[in-house]
Amino acid sequence: MLWGSRFSKKLNQSALEFSSSINFDINLFHYDIKVNKAHAKMLESIGILSDEEFQQINNGLTIIEEKFNSGEWTPSSNKYEDIHSATEDKLTELIGDVAKKLHTGRSRNDQVITDVRLWVKDAVNQLLDKIVNLQKTLIKLAKDNTKTLMPGYTHLQRAQPISFAFHLLAYVEMFERDKQRLKFSYQQADESILGCGALAGSTIKLDRKQTAKELGFSKVSSNALDSVSDRDFILDFLHTCNLAMMHLSRFSEEIILWTSAEWNFVKLGDEFTTGSSLMPQKQNSDMAELIRGKNGRVFGNYFGLLATLKSLPLSYNRDLQEDKEGMFDSFLTLKSSVEIMTAMVESVQVNRKKFKPEIDGSLMLATDLADYLVIKGIPFREAHNIIGKIVKFATGKNIKLNQIALEEYKTFSPKFEEDVFQILSSDTCLENKKTYGSPNPELVKEQIEIWEGKIA
């Protein structure tokens, strides 16, 4: 216990276990060792510790880390409030009273958030690597499907033809935005608050810049009162996890649809599907469903911390202990979800010919037909009206647009010529797209090359 001398009774055992955070802040153990070593080195440089004392503390911390890694020492919640008190108690046990000098000029308030900031930076880098791998996998699949036709949707109604590659690249774009937000989260966490103490700094002239440099921070916080209670960087991280999980959920939903018998467009590898305890024929996209389902908990972690912070006065309050459990959970959930999604995508088999006959001459080409009349000199609103009548005619007769004779087209507008049927072919519908950012196969190939270069 790092406190207690002013109390006449020990903390109630149930209260200790209730208030202990060690079961989850044990995730910060290695960062706590690192922060302790940096702080000790700084104390030695300003004359609080002798060289011999510093070496004793530094070696003691190394031994504790080795014992923790080997499983020889595991702190428990019925003895310690947190990982910091556990480490300091173990250090005192190993090297004696010199360990008591380590806490000079420092509070658990600035210590724990320094640990958390280091953890967030590492978590961001891990997630960036995982998302890059997912992007590479999507790009590889896109590369093989630049001419694989599929319907594009608005309002969940068939709208215009696109390619599967074009659809996959939309998710590559989404995940790129997630990477940018992760980098912002890294920048927000990249600030040392070590030396801020409980809320007002120290009368001892600590060298905060030294510890910041030692720990790899790019800057030092400037207001101790704000520093020890600031959890905005955690909210930024959780918000980023939210959006990345939401993107994974949207993709999961589409995979679930594509693998259904109604779509019969994509097949997942057996190793990423499950069966039924009752129905022998079932092959379920359970991993995609689980990713979709895990969004609720990740969203809840974000809103939970928001609710905790919303009425807290400055500076530190014990409520802030609730900042870590959801943070660790969101990270692990996102990390594992990205890994599973990457493996699922690698296992995908595509039914490339599925939609070609359905798209050929279909109503999904009605907009291209309107553009055809615009190119012939008819104002778009008038062209839209003409094509609307043609669609009504085709649906009334239950025929496709390419099954309407040229003579019948001319009854709607004399501008129609034989070349109209080139617009209505599934062989040319993608190539007919001219604008940058469209599913024209050549433009999609260019985008794939750009992405390959960017991600490499």
The single residue listed with the structure tokens 């979709």 is: 292
CA 101/CA 77 separation, integer angstroms: 25
Pick the catalytic residue: 5, 14, 70, 155? 155
CA 148/CA 327 separation, integer angstroms: 40
Q: What are the angstrom distances between the C-alpha of 270 and each of 121, 168, 186, 275, 286?
A: 36, 22, 38, 10, 11
CA 327/CA 74 separation, integer angstroms: 22
Q: Which element (helix H / strand E) includes 303?
A: helix 286-309
* Residue 103 bears catalytic tag: no
Q: Find out whether 194 and 259 touch, Cβ atoms under 8 Å.
A: no
Strand partners, 149: 163
The one-letter amino acid code at 40 reads A
CA 314/CA 196 separation, integer angstroms: 14
End-to-end CA distance of the chain: 50
CA 241/CA 330 separation, integer angstroms: 7
* Residue 330 bears catalytic tag: no
CA 329/CA 331 separation, integer angstroms: 5
Catalytic residue positions, numbered: 155, 276
